[in-house]
């Protein structure tokens, strides 16, 4: 895969602005592993190879077990491998990412509200929106995953 446009170089201010949102979410008080799991799940739904590679590496560096990583895409079937907060966040990530299909039903909002406070829900949703944006940018401009570029060397 060849990159179409190096968007970090072509529009550095725009990319930096997205980085500011990324930093906001990282400093929001949400658990870092939970946020990375959400980013990974959103990237799975969207099929973003670059982000799948990036967030998988981040989760490995945070000590998440390979078995858990392998089951993110089927988290509802993974039993207690995911705690209540992770399950609620992943469920919310799926319904927000698929907003055109789901329209975010009240029961989904009630489910996430049972586990997270208002600010946490807003911060989580900002992170989900950010990851959807970053996925679309990376996919549009064919940013290759680090694993693919490392293998080519």
CATH number assigned to the domain comprising residue 23: 1.20.1290.10
- Phi and psi at 93, nearest 5°, equal -60, -40
Q: Are 32 and 26 in contact (CB under 8 A)?
A: yes
- State the pTM of this model: 0.94
Indicate whether 12 belongs to any domain. no
Q: Is residue 4 part of a domain?
A: no
pLDDT digits (tens, 9 = 90+) for 114-137: 999 999 999 999 999 999 999 999
The 10s digit of each residue's pLDDT in 21-30 is 999 999 999 9
**Residue 152 pLDDT exceeds 60:** no
* Parent domain of 102: 18-142
Task: Note whether residue 75 is domain-resident.
Answer: yes
Taking only the tens place, the pLDDT of each residue in 39-50 is 999 999 999 999
What is the domain count for the chain? Answer: 1
């Amino acid at each position: 895969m060849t990159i179409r446009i190096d968007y970090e170089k072509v529009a550095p201010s725009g990319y930096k602005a997205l980085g500011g949102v990324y930093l906001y979410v990282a400093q929001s008080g949400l658990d870092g592993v939970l946020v990375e799991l959400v980013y990974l799940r959103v990237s799975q739904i969207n099929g973003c190879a670059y982000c799948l590679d990036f967030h998988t590496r981040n989760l490995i560096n945070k000590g998440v077990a390979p078995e858990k990583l392998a089951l993110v895409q089927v988290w509802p079937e993974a039993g207690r491998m995911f705690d209540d907060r992770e399950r609620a966040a992943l469920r919310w990530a799926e319904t927000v990412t698929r907003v055109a299909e789901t329209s975010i039903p009240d029961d989904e909002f009630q489910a996430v509200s049972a586990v997270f406070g208002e600010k946490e829900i807003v911060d989580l949703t900002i992170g989900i929106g950010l990851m959807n944006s970053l996925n679309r940018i990376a996919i549009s401009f064919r940013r290759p995953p680090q694993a693919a570029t490392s293998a080519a060397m």
